[in-house]
Structure 1
């Protein structure tokens, strides 16, 4: 019955194999051999070696001895063979080997010098033999001896290659600025002015909780005039003492992602002051068509939000702090300005916020109205100018 089974296998040019052994190999290096090596290996083998090294490393395998039955059929290595798989059993086959390099160099590995490398920390080596390894009057092949060791993966190079081959706009895990490889792993870092996002690879603008108090200054989206960073939330607060306000002037090159005209669900700039939100701004036109935006009191809050996808050039804002002043009124007819708070240092014809003007009438006239007015925070006087009438 065995002869009929063997003839059936030979006619179909297939391997009729039995259940084999499973071996686990670990550590930073090691070696293993086919069953019974250096004596001839048995028939009907299906042995597997699973090699695992530490995460962050790859497996490097080479042979110091290799002697298997070669295939004399149309399909190379279809009878006895060693199969190397990238990962656990069932993963992609890296190569299938058989024969002897001295006699059949096309199918056998070069001893010592030819290295097989996994892409992860796992590799599987499988050896299969058919029924005919001990044919009479034929030297029986003796199998193989293999050595392996752990080699550090250069994740930075791997990620760059993966990103270059990908059609996705964002390569998950790819360091946005700098990739730093170390034995067993890698980490991302960012250029000056950016910090690493919680995802571990995105670089976001270092612009949270920024307090600005100088009389003049500039606010820019991260990276301006280059593309702003994704996944970013910037917060700026411009604040000064009471009696002053501030003015924002946008450069014309405003460019923030827009969904539809007037709709800003993805990226946006929000401006707030004591009167509430001035709105969410996006698109390619500066807020208020580029006209200066003046605060109603002594502070502005700006919030810039970007999502995970589109990156544009953003914006540049020049700001300045203005002194709130009221124009000096003309004295009433038949009267005079009896007292004026020290005029504004920058505008002599104005008085600063909180300043007081007192009025008096000439002799023979009496004052109708408030004898005193104050400069209010909106730049107006607290009351009408009084008049002087004759007794």
Structure 2
């Protein structure tokens, strides 16, 4: 048994039994009670703890366990994951723990796997749902967490996030302004205005670990109440605060995440509700004209490009230096738009990053690319590839017929590892 599991188990033996969560047993060798965690349940009260089935033993395969937590009315649920040890995957596709607001159709507050332990997770109401899913292949001891009830606006510096529905207010990172925000924190503020109003957000101070692509610590802001990249307004880090942000509708979601390494001062932001007709700065007419002209030119150029015969030439070695980025990964989405295919890659390894915008959440890395000609190279969802191409100044990756793309095999990895140290 590993040291962290022993520590958690010793902690459990000091806690009083919780009848809704587990049953107890004794043996001749063991006079003290040891909790036996079961799959799912309904948990109530001011506080308690919850663990995967059989914890600290290996959790069973092919299971789906759901726990519903309810704390007293007028308070919110705070969940602290003390230990997590699940099958690791960059996108948490196989074994994972999901945490949701409410008990049905609630906003997902996070998905976790591997051994990455997030900070405290705060619901916006007195209800929270936790779901653990495992597939046929399992690895690890599962998870254990504690939950507690807290006042919505008096949770202390160790917590962050929640529902904000007053006409104006502030939100800030834990420990602000006394010291840096802690590592391993996940915060989600759900701002909800009346249906006839929109929301304006401004940051007074802003200092989040700097990275060109905001892969490690970041603030992401979404239209609506769900984490959905299609609704994302922006992703921010560094020490320059973003400009004023105005929602499209009456809901905004602000998510802050810090990884387990460097931290910084943090931020404090203000929000206020505005009438829907609140004036925004109109885009100059020239912008629309320029965009339309550029788009038409791009379509015309792509059409000519895609008429060429599709035949891959050269090798990984001959394309390595001429490519802006070189990555290996799994295609998780592929959407045809016009004559191009927009794909999302779950990255296995990065050999050359160049200017490619790579997103990171915990240990998961992903990138969005455009295959300019949908039939050349032919990219299929669910398969692994070596992908080489070019990225523009904004970090958008593009793969043309003359770029190199090939199905990923183990022999490719040996070649790429050798090329990684090559000077171009």
TM-score (norm 1): 0.30
More helix by share: 2
